[in-house]
């Protein structure tokens, strides 16, 4: 195990897209939520590190039609500011 100062500290959030939901709405809601988590983490770690806290939003597309697509078409990686968004 790494010493405490070497451990990766970050925020991670999982969201699911169900039938009748849009990727855009789930992304918008997920970004708002992860930004809130990041802000809480940042304030609790103030004076402990100057490095930005890594944030990851994972969006799982569970819609019937999209589940039929091959993985090569379903997996995506985007950056929204300092937040990494992985879609699958």
Which residue has better confidence, 9 or 8?
A: 9
| DSSP structural state of residue 68 | G
Q: What is the pLDDT of residue 5?
A: 47
Q: CB of 13 within 8 A of CB of 61?
A: no
Q: What is the pLDDT of residue 31?
A: 96
Q: Which range among 39-48, 51-60, 68-77 shows the weakest confidence by mean pLDDT?
A: 39-48
Two tokens at 23?
């990727």
Of 67, 66, 57, 60, nearest in space to 29 by CA: 57
Q: CB of 82 within 8 A of CB of 56?
A: no
């Amino acid at each position: 195990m790494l010493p405490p100062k070497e451990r990766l500290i970050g925020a991670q959030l999982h969201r699911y897209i169900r039938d009748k939901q849009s990727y855009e709405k789930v992304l918008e809601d997920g970004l708002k939520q992860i930004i809130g988590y990041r802000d809480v983490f940042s304030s609790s770690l103030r004076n402990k590190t100057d490095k930005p806290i890594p944030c990851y939003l994972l969006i799982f597309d569970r819609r019937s039609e999209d589940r039929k697509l091959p993985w090569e078409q379903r997996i995506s990686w985007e950056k929204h500011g300092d937040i990494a968004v992985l879609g699958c």
